[in-house]
C-alpha cells in the first residue's frame, strides 16, 4: 500500500509553489534533498534510517495547510499544542536506537505518527502510545491508510509503558519527562537502548543502554521537546 502510494500520481505541478498533494515524484525529490542536506550532512549514516526517511511521506503527517513546509529543517505544529519533530531529530534518534529489522520498539508520544512510520519502514514492530486521544486516533488512521500494519497505536499515558509487549529492543520517548520513568527502564531488553530527552525547558537527549552488568547512560545533545504529561508530573 505504501509502495502503491509512492508510485501512483505524478501530476505536473505548474509554476511555483509546493507540489500538489498527489505529486509523488516531487515529494520524493523533496525527501531526497531533506535527507542529503539535513540528515546525512549532519552525520547520520545508518542506511536503514536514511532509506526510511527517503520513503515515508512526511507531508501526509502534517496539517494540509503546512504541507509545503513538511520537508523543511524545523518542527511543525500538529494541533493540540503539539509538534512533529524536526527531520534531523527523527533521523538522529532513529539511528541512536540502534535497532534492526524485526526488533520490537516502544515509542512514547505518537503525535502525528511520523516517527513510528519511520521505525516501521526500517522493519521494526512498533508499539506507540499517545496521551491525547484525538492525536492517537488520527495517527492510527494515517498509519493504517499507508498500510503500515506493524505499528500498534494505543491512546493513554505512556508512563507505565506497554508491559504485555515488553521487553523492547528499543524505547524512544518523544516528549520530555524531568526524569526517566522507572517502568520504561524495566521494559528495556538486555542489549537494548532507550533514547529520551530529559529535563524541563531545555533537555538533554540521552541514550540509556541496558547490559548484563546494569544500566549505562550518555548525553548526546541539548534538545527541546514538548513536556511529557500525566503520571510523571504527579510523582515526587
Residues within the interface to ligand SAH (CB under 6 A): 82-85, 108-109, 111-112, 114-115, 129-132, 135, 157-159, 174-175, 226, 228-230
Q: Which three cell numbers stand for residue 217?
A: 547512560
Q: Which residue, 6 or 129, is less far from ligand SAH as judged by CB?
A: 129
Instruction: Say whether 176 sits in a helix, a strand or coil.
Output: strand
Q: Which residue, 57 or 109, is less far from ligand SAH as judged by CB?
A: 109
129 vs 11, 133, 171, CA distance in Å? 36, 10, 11
Min dist CB 13 to ligand SAH, Å, is: 26
Query: Which member of 24, 68, 85, 193 is catalytic?
Result: 85
Residue with cell string 509545503: 68
Min dist CB 63 to ligand SAH, Å, is: 12
Min dist CB 194 to ligand SAH, Å, is: 15
Q: Beta-carbon neighbour count of residue 94 at 10 Å?
A: 28
Q: Are 101 and 150 in contact (CB under 8 A)?
A: no
Nearest to 226, CA basis, from 86, 120, 105, 38: 86
Min dist CB 158 to ligand SAH, Å, is: 3
Min dist CB 33 to ligand SAH, Å, is: 20
Q: Where are the beta strands (DSSP E) in the chain?
A: 76-79, 82-84, 104-108, 125-130, 151-155, 168-173, 188-199, 203-211, 214-223
- Residue 34 CA to residue 41 CA, distance in Å, equals 10
Q: Which residue, 114 or 127, is less far from ligand SAH as judged by CB?
A: 114
Q: Are 110 and 128 in contact (CB under 8 A)?
A: yes
- Residue 204 CA to residue 119 CA, distance in Å, equals 22
Q: Which residue, 167 or 230, is less far from ligand SAH as judged by CB?
A: 230
Q: Is 193 a catalytic residue?
A: no
Length of the chain measured in residues: 236
- Residue 135 CA to residue 6 CA, distance in Å, equals 24
Q: Which residues are catalytic?
A: 85
Amino acid at each position: 500500500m505504501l509502495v502503491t502510494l509512492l508510485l501512483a500520481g505524478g501530476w505536473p505541478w505548474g509554476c511555483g509553489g509546493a507540489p500538489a498533494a498527489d505529486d509523488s515524484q516531487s515529494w520524493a525529490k523533496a525527501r531526497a534533498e531533506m535527507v542529503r542536506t539535513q540528515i546525512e550532512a549532519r552525520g547520520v549514516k545508518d542506511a536503514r534510517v536514511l532509506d526510511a526517511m527517503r520513503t515515508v511521506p512526511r507531508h501526509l503527517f502534517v496539517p494540509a495547510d503546512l504541507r509545503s513546509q513538511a520537508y523543511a529543517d524545523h518542527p511543525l505544529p500538529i494541533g493540540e499544542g503539539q509538534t512533529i519533530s524536526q527531520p534531523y531529530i527523527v533521523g538522529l534518534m532513529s539511528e541512536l536506537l540502534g535497532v534492526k529489522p524485526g526488533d520490537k520498539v516502544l515509542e512514547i508520544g505518537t503525535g502525528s505518527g511520523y516517527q513510528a512510520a519511520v521505525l516501521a519502514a526500517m522493519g521494526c514492530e512498533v508499539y506507540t502510545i499517545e496521551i491525547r486521544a484525538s492525536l492517537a486516533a488520527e495517527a492510527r488512521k494515517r498509519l493504517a491508510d499507508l498500510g503500515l500494519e506493524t505499528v500498534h497505536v494505543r491512546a493513554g499515558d505512556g508512563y507505565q509503558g506497554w508491559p504485555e509487549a515488553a521487553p523492547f529492543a528499543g524505547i524512544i520517548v518523544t516528549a520530555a519527562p524531568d526524569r526517566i520513568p522507572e517502568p520504561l527502564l524495566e521494559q528495556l531488553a538486555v542489549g537494548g537502548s532507550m533514547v529520551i530527552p530529559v529535563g524541563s525547558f531545555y533537555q538533554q537527549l540521552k541514550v540509556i543502554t541496558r547490559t548484563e552488568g546494569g544500566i549505562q547512560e550518555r548525553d548526546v545533545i541539548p534538545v527541546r521537546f514538548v513536556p511529557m504529561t500525566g503520571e510523571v508530573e504527579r510523582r515526587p
